[in-house]
Structure 1
Amino acid sequence: MSENNSRRGSRGYDSGKGIKGGKRHIIVDTVGLVITAEVHKSIQDHDGALNLFAQARCKAPTLRKFFADQEYTGKLQNRCLLETECLLMITKKVVDTGFQVIPKRWIVARAFDWLSNFRRMSKGYEHSPLTSQNNIFFNMITIMLDKLAHF
């Protein structure tokens, strides 16, 4: 009984979205395929980003720019430039009435949408952030194979 209680609190909580499960951080290419990903129990976007930028730069040395939303403004932009030699460009929402597609932001949203089609990714089922992170990579491999098969 106590083992079950200790596992219950280990999943984390995403306060931004108000859901159980860890924070999923991904970096995708211009097509929307995952370059690198991390899952944390409870960490803010800007705190988990710098390590992810460095990982992406190691995996894809030709990277020169990252695009991110307004959560990543401020000191993180300077640190990203100093530590990875890449620009961190912030895509800002257009203050206007009605729906508008914000350039570059839809690519990451589409990647999360593709991943949420997998049952284990639809909610924060996993107790271990590492398991959830591996699910991101396995599911992205499945997505890429499916796209190649229909090409």
Structure 2
Amino acid sequence: MVDTLGLLLGVMVTSADVGDRTAAQVLPDQVTAAHHRLALVWADGGYTGSLVEYCLTALALVLAIVKRSDHAKGFVVLPKRWIVERLFAHLMRSRRLLRDVERRTASAQAMIYWSMPLLMSRRLARTGPRRG
């Protein structure tokens, strides 16, 4: 989970045999415990179903699903989806995350948390107007 600036709020790495939809109930619990003012979360179309009702009833959190239009053809930029995709691109700058070499999900998760200060410090060190 990231905020609207693309900074990491929480991460959960699972093994390949665990589906995203089944594991998705754990992460909102962790993030809302740490960030009490969180009220709205945008999610990909893959997280539809019982997760929407669970977030609303158990966490008082509105989960808005960002879906691709049925009439769109080709590549379409989805609103708010680019924020997460940009974070993935920044994370892939870390050599350790470029390849899946971790044996444990906990160490892969730690590497993601470890690479975030690099992104944050680059943003803080930026001076002057942004170049395209």
**TM-score normalised to the size of structure 1?**
0.79
Structure 2, unpaired ranges of 5+: 128-132
1:150 partnered with 2:122: no
Structure 1: where are the runs of 5+ without partners? 1-26
- Determine whether 1:57 maps to 2:57: no
Rounded to whole Å, the distance in 1 between the matches of 2:58 and 2:117 is 29
Which residue does the alignment assign to 1:12?
none
Q: 1:1-150 to 2 correspondence within 5 Å?
A: 27-42=1-16, 43-94=18-69, 95-150=71-126
Equivalent residues, number: 125
| Separation in 2, partners of 1:99, 1:46 | 24
Q: Aligned-pair RMSD on alpha carbons?
A: 1.1
Query: Which structure has greater strand proportion?
Result: 1
- After superposition, the C-alpha distances for 1:77-117 in whole angstroms (9 at most, x for unaligned) are 10111121101100001231232210011111111111011
- One-letter code of the match for 1:99? F
Distance 1:97 1:109 in 2: 20
CA distance in 1, matches of 2:46, 2:60: 20
Query: When the two structures are superposed, what TM-score results if normalisation uses the length of structure 2?
Result: 0.89
> Any idea what SS the aligned residue of 1:67 has?
strand
Percentage identity across paired residues of the two chains: 34
d(CA) in 2 for partners of 1:100 and 1:41? Answer: 30
Q: Which runs of 4+ in 1 moved over 3 A?
A: none
* Counterpart Cα distance in 2 of 1:55 and 1:80: 12
Which secondary structure state, in structure 1, belongs to the residue aligned with residue 106 of structure 2? Answer: helix
User: How far, CA to CA, are the matches of 1:145 and 1:48 in structure 2?
Assistant: 31
Which digits, 9 at most, give the CA deviation of each residue in 1:53-73, with x for residues without a partner? Answer: 011111111100111111110
